[in-house]
Structures are given as structure tokens and as C-alpha cells.
Chain A
């Protein structure tokens, strides 16, 4: 592969896969009016990630994922417990529980000397899109040169799409009227837990490649961009992925070529650029919709 392609292609692939994974799941969070849950889970998984890393001694993806899943589940349970016991409003309960978990994670990170590159807080927060690259292996199949982050992302994207296909209608019914879904539905709890589990998986898989800054954006923005134009849940999903994908590619190139375009001295943080673009696109999309309906 030529030089620039070896760097750009993996990064774009990562961004697109993260968009598919987090962007599609984000639709459910937005429809359920739980847009900040993604933010909460993203913070809460940190102690699980660190614990998994420490326990396994090396960057064992499985151990870290299990740790993250357990941490996420514990945080959700604790939040429910807090809300039931004290009748604290949802936002405040989230704010306390999930920051406490994050603090615990930071504590573990800093005191256990787990200062590996992958668990560097800055990398987890801002991603590493600029440093992903394809290294053609000396011997062996070409596929071995693909950065490992992409495999996790591909798995997450597949899981997310699978969830949409398998439980799409139950998720939609639950988002529209959770009480009715609980009363009349087939397996309401199963579907809800499956959603949270897959969301957690997607967040963990996306962390190292795109960072929590882009994960947060993906979990809310593509869905909100598509929302004003959507006439069906499927339509919103499709539109969110198309626009999200386009913005991911656009944002990446904007950041990479900032030197020429904006006169900056070096490449800008790609994940942040994509996130900012997506966030900006939300009010633009709503304004566009308002303009169109006024003309009609």
C-alpha cells in the first residue's frame, strides 16, 4: 500500500466501523430519550477495563471486555438502586454513579502503574485515529497487517447490526411506550439488557481507536441529525448511518489536511474534528427541516 493510503484507509475504516456500531445503537438511545446514557456507560467502564488489564497482565481484549461489561452492569444496577432509594432525578443519579466509577478507574490506573500506551487517559479520551496504520507484514497473509483495533470495531459493528435486525421491532415498541412493551411484550427485559450489553461492547471496542470524544458524539449525533427528517424508525437508522459515515470521512480529511486548509502546523485531532462536525450538523439539520416545512 502506498504511504498515505496505509495511514488513511485504516483510520477511515475505523471511523466508519465506529459510526456503524455506535451510530446505529445511538438511535435507540435517542428514541428512548436516554442520550446521556452513552456518556454514562463510557465513563463507567473504565475501572472494568483497568481491572481486566491488570488481572490478565497483558492487553487481553477478552479480559478487558469482561471487566468493562461487569463495570457497566454494576453501574446501571447501582443507578437504579440509587433512584429507587432516594428518588433522585435521573441526571443527578447518573452524574454521581458514573463519575464515581470513573474516579475509581482513574485511581486504579494511576496507582497500579498501568501506564501503558493503550490505557493512557488521553488516548482513551481522544482516540488514536491519526496513528492507526497498516503495516504490511514481511511474511504471512496481508490481513495480519491490519491494526487489531479494526477487528474489535468490526465485531462491534456486526453485533450492532445483528441487534437491529433481530430485535428491531421490540426495541422500537419499547422506545415508543415502555410500559406497553413491558406489559404486552414477549421478553421485554431480555431486549433491554441486550441493548445495554451491545452498547457497552461497542463503546469498549471503539475507545482505543476513536476515543470517548467521538464515541459520545456517535451515540447521539447521527441519530439526532436524522431525527427531524425521519418518518419511520428504519428510515432514521438508515439516514443516520449515511450522514454519519459521510461526516466521519469528511471530518477525518479535514483534520488530516488542516495544514493546507487552516494554516495549522500539524494534523488536528481527527476524532475531535469529526465529533465537532457531527454536533454542528444537528442544529443545521433541524434548521433545514424547519425551512423545508415552512416552504411546503
Chain B
């Protein structure tokens, strides 16, 4: 992979990454508003068993284990299941929200470890696949992967924009939304779907462990910069999408120019650095509000 070469493949991967970054930032804003940041963490880890199952099913059905849409679909299914477990468990006494997250994460991730040991003993399975999934790699993205990502991203963004007002209301004032007749449960389900879609879209790029950073850090940075109210959430979302896209681009360039730098790590550090840089802005806003 020579540095600076702008072949069609590079542009395609870059476009895919930037699109994912924007998607993650946008969805992440609503996830942050609804205080579900760690559900993204769980979803990322929980995709692992689904991907393994999809691989095995693909091999068994003769579809070929590495079909992108199949793997994404498998990952999305278990991620959704995990999010559902979190929702159910957090309502139980002596478990709580934090306990629900930890149990779901441990259970699905453990299952993923078990299933991947099956995959790795499969003739078609390989060691490299797991590593790419865990840490992400832009280089591993081929033409079909980019197209799948683009399709998923567009569909998700369309849904997000269509329901942005309702989602914002539920995030900022759940009680009022309920009395206003909004189907809060279904909107939460929609947000979970969008979250899972963003996580699954970014898994190949950022890796399952780090994808949560791409959802939360740009959104948190935008929160420091913009006006964090229900009415102006649209503006914050755009800022978050921009920061996400930039971080993703930096990640891709860093992984191409310096040998060995994994894309996910570079993206995450770029996004986190942006967030840290915007902290002074949050403090000033705070002080002027108190004055």
C-alpha cells in the first residue's frame, strides 16, 4: 500500500470511512442525549458471536463465509439481542443499569470467544479475520464492503433525519413525550436499531472494541461546542457528524502513511483528542452561565 496513491480503491475506502464517521457522529449525538453511551460498547462486543454464527452458517449453506452483508446481518442480530437484554435486565432489582450492561457484555462476548474458537478450527476460518474484527483495518475493506457500508449508512441517516424531532423530544423530556402520546418504547427501539446499524457499519473499520469511541467522542465534543438543547440538537448533530468524518479521515490517512498503525486506534485517538481540545469551551460556557 504505497502512501499518497489515490487509486479508486483508496478513494472508495476513504469515502466509506468518512461516511461511517459522519454516521457515527450523528447517531452518537442522539445516543448521548438518551444516555445510552455504554449500550454502544455492549453492542460492539455482542456482534462477535453473530458474526461467527453467520460465518459458520454461510459456510454450511455454501454461500461462502466471508460475504459482507451476511456477516453484518449476523453481527447486527446478536447486537440487537444484547441491547434487548440490557433493557430487560436493567429493570430488575439488585441488577441495575450498570449490572445489566456488564452481564450482557460478558455473556455475549464470552459466547463470541467460544464461537470464534470454532471458526478458527474451521478449514475456511483464519486467525487474521478475528484480529481485523477486534482492532479494525481500512486496508481489509474491499469494493463490496464499501458498498454495503454506504448502503447501510444512507438508510440509517435517512431514518435518523426522518425521526429526529421525536427522538430529540424523548431524549430531553421523556415524561412530556409520553404524555404527548409519543410511542416512547418504539422510539427507543428505533434508536437502538440506529445504534446497532452504526456500530455494525464501523466494526470493520474501527474494530468492535473501539467503535463506541467513534459514536460518543465526536458527539461529546459537539456537545461542548454547540448549544445542547432539544431545539438545537440538529446543529449539534451536524457538528458531531463533521468531527466524526474528520476523525475517520485522519484515521485512514494515518494507517496508510505509517506502517502498522491500525485504523481503529488512529480514528479513536483523533476523535478523543478533538473532545479533549473542546473541553475548555465547555468550561467557559459553564462559567458564563453561572455568572
Contacts and interface: CB of A to CB of B under 8 A. Distances in A.
A95 B99 contact: no
Contacts of A291: none
Contacts, number: 211
A95 B210 contact: no
Interface stretch (B6-14, B61-69, B101-109): B101-109
B261 A272 contact: no
Q: How big is chain B's contact interface, by range?
A: 35 or more
A110 interface: yes
A193 B162 CA distance: 47
A224 B103 contact: yes
A279 B121 CA distance: 25
Query: Chain B: interface secondary structure?
Result: helix
A100 B269 contact: yes
A88 B223 contact: yes
Contact of B38 (A94, A211, A219, A275): A94
A268 B118 contact: yes
A232 interface: no
Interface stretch (B16-24, B152-160, B195-203, B275-283): B275-283
B192 interface: no
B55 interface: no
Given A33-B98, A36-B38, A125 B134 contact: yes
A74 interface: no
Contact of A100 (B105, B110, B213, B223): B213
Q: How big is chain A's contact interface, by range?
A: 35 or more
A211 B117 CA distance: 14
A255 B118 CA distance: 11
Contacts of A97: 272
Nearest to A92: B37
Most buried by B among A36, A92, A121, A217: A92
5 contacts: A91-B35, A102-B209, A224-B95, A224-B102, A275-B107
Interface of B: 32, 35-38, 40-41, 89, 92-96, 98-99, 101-114, 116-118, 121, 127, 130-131, 134-135, 209-210, 212-213, 216-217, 220, 223-224, 258-262, 264-266, 268-269, 272, 275, 279, 282-283, 286
Given A126-B117, A213-B113, 14 more contacts: A36-B101, A39-B105, A87-B282, A96-B216, A99-B217, A103-B265, A103-B272, A214-B110, A216-B109, A227-B94, A269-B113, A269-B114, A279-B106, A279-B110
